A and B are shown apart, each in its own frame.
Chain A
Amino acid sequence: MQRPFLRLFVTPAALVAAGFLLAMAAILQYAVLAHIPGELTPGGFTLRNFQEMLKPLYAGVFFDTVRLCFLTAVLALLAGYPLALAMVRARNPYIKSAILIISVTPLFLGEVVRTYAWLIVLGNQGFINGFLLWLGIIDRPLTLMFSTGGVVMGLVHVTLPVVVIMLSAAISHIDRDLEKAAVALGARPLRVFLTVTLPLSMPGIVAALTTGFAWTFSAFATPQIIGGGRVNMVSNLVYSLGFSSFNFPFAAALSIAGLLLTALSLALFKLLLRPLERMGAK
């Protein structure tokens, strides 16, 4: 009785997956073909695209991307943990909902809309500069746009909702009786947090860091718009090579490398964070 239904339900997903696989295969194929300047159709088989990537100009972008992703994940974690904790622990349902809405709605705005909002905040005539100038703390606008700091701020904003969702899921699984037991045994709130709540949140923290990292790796609009060409991530490089220079083979090779780098970083992450994860193991 179950099987025909199952087959029916799985079909759409299987079709989509097959589509993705085909696209990946096409990209893989492009990546090993030669680029003929001035032509849209590629030439014959070559591995030159991958050699090209090792040039400092391109390798540097990969390095920067990893650095930005890591920084973003850590900052999103630092900003997201208190939010998630407050959301899970708030007794008042209105406060709970307010935190949920504030931290999660950005997810539904889309990256482009959110990033344009940052333009208004970060620009030379933007909110921050305007405010600081008005206060007289600075006499010239700070360069917030087209800077790494600005891009990271935007990326953290984009990543925060996922991090908060993952952390709050983990925190809500911590048995409140454990904290009550700790307080009753004479531990002050800070000690309870450091010895019970935080260690038991570790699996969630590791998951949030990892997801935040991977999530940021795929960011495009934020570095494109706030970075304005001065802060480049792998996705921006792929875009400019593919759609400005029409070097599809090199863009394809960069995509593949980006994918591999993400996988590699995540594996490394998992390995490095294992002791942390163990801390909260049951």
Chain B
Amino acid sequence: MSGTEDALRLDGVGKQFGTFTALHEAWLRVRPGEFVTLLGPSGCGKTTLLNLIAGFLEADAGEIFIGGKLVTQTPVWERDIGIVFQSYALFPHMDVARNVGYGLRARGVSRAEEAARVAEALAMVRLSSMAGRRPRQLSGGQQQRVALARALVIRPSLLLLDEPFSALDRNLRMEMQFELKEIQQKLGVTTIFVTHDQAEAMSMSDRIAVMSEGRILQLDTPEGVYRRPAHRFVAGFIGDATVLRGRLKGMDGVSAGVEAGGLTFSVPAAPLEGTAPGAEVDVFLRPEHLQPAEGEAGLAGTVVSRAYLGDRAELLVQTEGAGRVMLRVPGLAALERWPAGAPIRMAVGSAEPVAFPAG
């Protein structure tokens, strides 16, 4: 395999269930060692896509390459993948060591090598002392780590994870996210991670494929999908955005001027290409796109609710005639000046929002 080969390549892979198209032609190239997340709401086709890559489903269209090798017709057991399921799927009738060694035995690895590699894998997930336990004697987080060790011990060319942490509580989930990322970077294993949690996707991924209704809408870095969403669905799904209806004032090649709620925002021009000046547009505002204004200038509104987050607070504000918006303010100031019901004035913040033609 040459160094420039894609670790995973999907060429127009599609899947139908009866007349329902679960996945429209998906095109995707993943570099060796990359961590790519499939992100989207429930039912958008993430699991379908993962099952196609794994070989649990047969593609109706397109070709799949793993490590440069065509595997579209290859059975699952020959695809050399490691999978972690949301349900952990640990074999209840085997102890932890036998669970982790399963893939090695299937590959006919010698007993001595199996023992050594299982021990190494268990050490990696800090579970060496649990080798003799049955899965049901472990906590959820420990079971998840056993599942990870079992998937990685075979040194797969591709690691697939389907919402692996969604059954864990918040703190444990964060811990597991860090741990997975650390292990993934250390081993350099190419990883496809599925989640519907955008914060999880943002914190772990090299690149994110945002999916909706069976399509990959955008494939970009976390910063890219956050700051330069290519699609109004992406803009609405990533981050907490509120939509403000406005009007296009004018644009040059790079940026456009949009007037909304009495404020003038500068937005990227690309999404508005072909829109005539004066046409209605939707501005996607995140809390950092607005800031409190002093005096009588800016957009006026009333605080509806306040989420105090320590160093900062997020205010939900009912504007006069422009719907609701969110803005981020320093935590202390929020406590002193903006309880629910307080009047507030807002100006354009330092970060640049995006706008799409009104839909």
A98 at the binding interface (Cβ < 8 Å): no
A180 to B89, CA, bound (A): 9
B27 at the binding interface (Cβ < 8 Å): no
Q: Which residue of B lies closest to A179 (CB)?
A: B89
B337 at the binding interface (Cβ < 8 Å): no
From residue A185, how far is it (CB to closest CB) to chain B in Å?
Answer: 3
Query: In the bound complex, do residue B93 and residue A199 qualify as a contact, i.e. CB atoms below 8 Å apart?
Result: yes
Q: Which residue of B lies closest to A192 (CB)?
A: B77
A281 to B93, CA, bound (A): 6
Contact bitstring B34-59, A, C-beta under 8 A = 1, else 0: 00000000000000000000101000
Query: In the bound complex, do residue B77 and residue A183 qualify as a contact, i.e. CB atoms below 8 Å apart?
Result: yes
- Segment at the interface with A among B80-88, B191-199, B273-281: B80-88
A175 to B89, CA, bound (A): 8
**A177 and B89 contact, Cβ closer than 8 Å, known pairs A186-B107, A188-B77:** yes
Chain A residues whose C-beta falls within 8 Å of the C-beta of B56 in the assembled complex: 180, 183
B187 at the binding interface (Cβ < 8 Å): no
Chain B residues whose C-beta falls within 8 Å of the C-beta of A177 in the assembled complex: 85, 87, 89
From residue A204, how far is it (CB to closest CB) to chain B in Å?
Answer: 13
Query: In the bound complex, do residue A200 and residue B92 qualify as a contact, i.e. CB atoms below 8 Å apart?
Result: yes
Chain B residues whose C-beta falls within 8 Å of the C-beta of A195 in the assembled complex: 102
B308 at the binding interface (Cβ < 8 Å): no
A282 at the binding interface (Cβ < 8 Å): yes
Query: In the bound complex, do residue B106 and residue A185 qualify as a contact, i.e. CB atoms below 8 Å apart?
Result: yes
A183 to B54, CA, bound (A): 10
B154 at the binding interface (Cβ < 8 Å): yes
Query: In the bound complex, do residue B103 and residue A186 qualify as a contact, i.e. CB atoms below 8 Å apart?
Result: yes
A161-182 contacts to B, CB under 8 A, are: 175, 177-178, 180-182
A279 at the binding interface (Cβ < 8 Å): yes
From residue B147, how far is it (CB to closest CB) to chain A in Å?
Answer: 8
A140 at the binding interface (Cβ < 8 Å): no
Q: Which residue of B lies closest to A188 (CB)?
A: B77
A280 at the binding interface (Cβ < 8 Å): yes
Q: Which single member of A184, A186, A280 contacts B93 (CB below 8 Å)?
A: A280
Chain B contact-residue range equals 20 to 34
Q: Which residue of B lies closest to A282 (CB)?
A: B92
**A180 and B150 contact, Cβ closer than 8 Å, known pairs A187-B77, A191-B106:** no
Chain A residues whose C-beta falls within 8 Å of the C-beta of B91 in the assembled complex: 178, 181-182, 196
B136 at the binding interface (Cβ < 8 Å): yes
Query: In the bound complex, do residue A185 and residue B89 qualify as a contact, i.e. CB atoms below 8 Å apart?
Result: no
Chain A residues whose C-beta falls within 8 Å of the C-beta of B134 in the assembled complex: 282
A178 to B83, CA, bound (A): 11
Q: Which residue of A lies closest to B85 (CB)?
A: A177
A191 to B108, CA, bound (A): 12
Contact bitstring B62-99, A, C-beta under 8 A = 1, else 0: 00000000000001111111110101011111000000
From residue B343, how far is it (CB to closest CB) to chain A in Å?
Answer: 55
Q: Tell me which of A178, A182, A185, A280 has the highest count of chain B C-beta atoms within 10 A of its own C-beta.
A: A185
Q: For chains A and B in complex, what number of residue pairs have CB atoms within 8 angstroms?
A: 69
Q: Which single member of A180, A183, A199, A282 contacts B85 (CB below 8 Å)?
A: A180
Chain B residues whose C-beta falls within 8 Å of the C-beta of A200 in the assembled complex: 92-93
Q: Which single member of B77, B89, B136 contacts A186 (CB below 8 Å)?
A: B77
Chain B residues whose C-beta falls within 8 Å of the C-beta of A199 in the assembled complex: 93
From residue B99, how far is it (CB to closest CB) to chain A in Å?
Answer: 9
Query: In the bound complex, do residue A282 and residue B154 qualify as a contact, i.e. CB atoms below 8 Å apart?
Result: no
A177 to B167, CA, bound (A): 16
A176 to B92, CA, bound (A): 13
Q: Which single member of B75, B87, B93, B103 contacts A185 (CB below 8 Å)?
A: B103
Contact bitstring A243-282, B, C-beta under 8 A = 1, else 0: 0000000000000000000000000000000000001111
From residue B100, how far is it (CB to closest CB) to chain A in Å?
Answer: 10
Query: In the bound complex, do residue B106 and residue A186 qualify as a contact, i.e. CB atoms below 8 Å apart?
Result: yes
Query: In the bound complex, do residue B103 and residue A282 qualify as a contact, i.e. CB atoms below 8 Å apart?
Result: no
Contact bitstring B132-154, A, C-beta under 8 A = 1, else 0: 00101000000000000011001
From residue A216, how far is it (CB to closest CB) to chain B in Å?
Answer: 29
Query: In the bound complex, do residue B77 and residue A180 qualify as a contact, i.e. CB atoms below 8 Å apart?
Result: no
Q: Which residue of A lies closest to B134 (CB)?
A: A282
Q: Tell me which of A178, A181, A182, A281 has the highest count of chain B C-beta atoms within 10 A of its own C-beta.
A: A181
Query: In the bound complex, do residue B102 and residue A187 qualify as a contact, i.e. CB atoms below 8 Å apart?
Result: yes
Chain A residues whose C-beta falls within 8 Å of the C-beta of B103 in the assembled complex: 185-187
From residue B55, how far is it (CB to closest CB) to chain A in Å?
Answer: 8
From residue A172, how far is it (CB to closest CB) to chain B in Å?
Answer: 16
Query: In the bound complex, do residue A181 and residue B85 qualify as a contact, i.e. CB atoms below 8 Å apart?
Result: yes
Query: In the bound complex, do residue B54 and residue A184 qualify as a contact, i.e. CB atoms below 8 Å apart?
Result: yes
Query: In the bound complex, do residue B87 and residue A184 qualify as a contact, i.e. CB atoms below 8 Å apart?
Result: no
From residue A69, how far is it (CB to closest CB) to chain B in Å?
Answer: 29
Chain A residues whose C-beta falls within 8 Å of the C-beta of B76 in the assembled complex: 180, 183-184
A281 to B92, CA, bound (A): 7
A188 to B74, CA, bound (A): 12
From residue A48, how far is it (CB to closest CB) to chain B in Å?
Answer: 52
**A175 and B93 contact, Cβ closer than 8 Å, known pairs A184-B54, A282-B136:** no
Extra contacts besides A184-B76, A186-B77 (17): CB < 8 Å: A178-B89, A180-B76, A180-B85, A181-B90, A183-B77, A184-B54, A184-B79, A185-B102, A185-B106, A185-B150, A186-B103, A186-B107, A186-B154, A188-B77, A188-B106, A195-B102, A200-B93
16 A-B residue pairs with CB within 8 Å: A175-B87, A177-B85, A180-B76, A181-B89, A183-B75, A183-B77, A184-B81, A184-B82, A185-B103, A185-B151, A186-B77, A186-B80, A186-B103, A196-B91, A279-B93, A282-B92
B-to-A contact residues, CB < 8 Å: 54, 56, 75-83, 85, 87, 89-93, 102-103, 106-107, 134, 136, 150-151, 154
Which 9 interchain pairs have the tightest Cβ spacing?
A185-B103, A282-B92, A177-B89, A186-B106, A181-B89, A187-B106, A184-B83, A183-B76, A177-B85
